[in-house]
Amino acid sequence: MGLDTAATLWCSASAGALNWGGILLMSLGAQWYILFNVIAEASAIPSDLREAAAVVAETHPAGNLPRLFTGGIPPPLLR
C-alpha cells in the first residue's frame, strides 16, 4: 500500500482529519511533481554537454558537473 493510499484511507476513516489529510495529499502530490520534472529535465541535458562538463571536471579541481545539473534542472520548476 502506497503512502497516498494510506493517507486517503486515513482521511476517510477519521472525520476530523480531513484537513490534515488534504494537506498531506497535496504535499505528496507536489513532491512527486517536482521529482518527475527534475528527472525529466536532467535526462534532457544533451550528452555532448555532459561529456564536455566531464572533461572540464577532469582539468579543474572544483569540477563543473554539479554546475551543469544545477543550471539545467531549475527551468521546469519555474514554468
Contact 72, 45 (CB under 8 A): yes
List, as one string, the DSSP characters of 32-45.
HHHHHHHHHHHHTS
Q: Is residue 10 part of a domain?
A: no
CA 74 – CA 56 distance, rounded (Å):
22
* Mean pLDDT, 10 residues at a time, the chain of 79 residues: 71 68 83 84 77 75 63 64
CA 29 – CA 36 distance, rounded (Å):
11
| Total domain count, the chain | 1
Q: What is the CA radius of gyration of the chain?
A: 20
> What pTM did the predictor assign?
0.51
Q: What local confidence, expressed as pLDDT, does residue 24 receive?
A: 80
Q: Is residue 11 part of a domain?
A: no
Q: Is residue 1 part of a domain?
A: no
Q: What local confidence, expressed as pLDDT, does residue 74 receive?
A: 67
CA 29 – CA 78 distance, rounded (Å):
17
Domain residues for 59? 45-79
Q: What local confidence, expressed as pLDDT, does residue 46 receive?
A: 78
Q: What local confidence, expressed as pLDDT, does residue 66 receive?
A: 64
